Amino acid sequence: MSINVKCVLVLGEFKKSTNYSTIESDRVELGKQMRAIHNKLVLYRVPNPVVCGIIYQGDDTFTYYMDIISPKLYRMGKVSKVKLFRNAEELYFLPRIVSSTNVALETTMKAESSIIEGAENNHRNPLMLPTTWLSFESCHL
């Protein structure tokens, strides 16, 4: 049996410190992309997916997570803000970044088990969330 399903779990945005978007902030743009990825994971029948996002701006690294808590209400939270490592003393920032990695790994394991279970049973698992909870509308600032 061969299974081929592509799941994106982490998104990244890389900007120079002087290259800011004037139309919409990088955080809003990342949030829209994370919402789209979250919706796909729900449609792939991944239970309680959490999507991670990273923004690099100059020397700063911001990590975010997104999940859904009620109908059409997505929650996006900042996990950490750290400076890029310049020397060995700055490695104490590492646990903050690893916490985002753990969230992505947990969602990866959920996605993998859901996809394999569906393939082994020869049918897709039921949706964990009703599709009415998902928002596919675009918003403009």
Domain boundaries of the chain, sorted by first residue: 10-127
Query: Measuring CA to CA, how many Å separate 48 from each of 3, 56, 108?
Result: 22, 27, 11
Which carries the bigger pLDDT value, residue 126 or residue 9? 126
pLDDT computed for residue 141 by the predictor: 45
pLDDT, residue 36, reads 92
Which H or E run includes 81? strand 73-83
The pLDDT of residue 63 is above 70: yes
pLDDT band with cut points at 50, 70 and 90 for residue 98: low
Q: Which two tokens stand for residue 105?
A: 């790994």
pTM above 0.75, yes or no: no
DSSP per-residue codes, the chain? ---------EEEEEE-TT---SSS-HHHHHHHHHHHHHHHHHHTT-SS--EEEEEEETTEEEEEEEEEEETTEEEEEEEEEEEPP-SGGGGGGHHHHHHHHHHHHHHHHHHHHHHHHHHHTTSPPPPSS-GGG--------
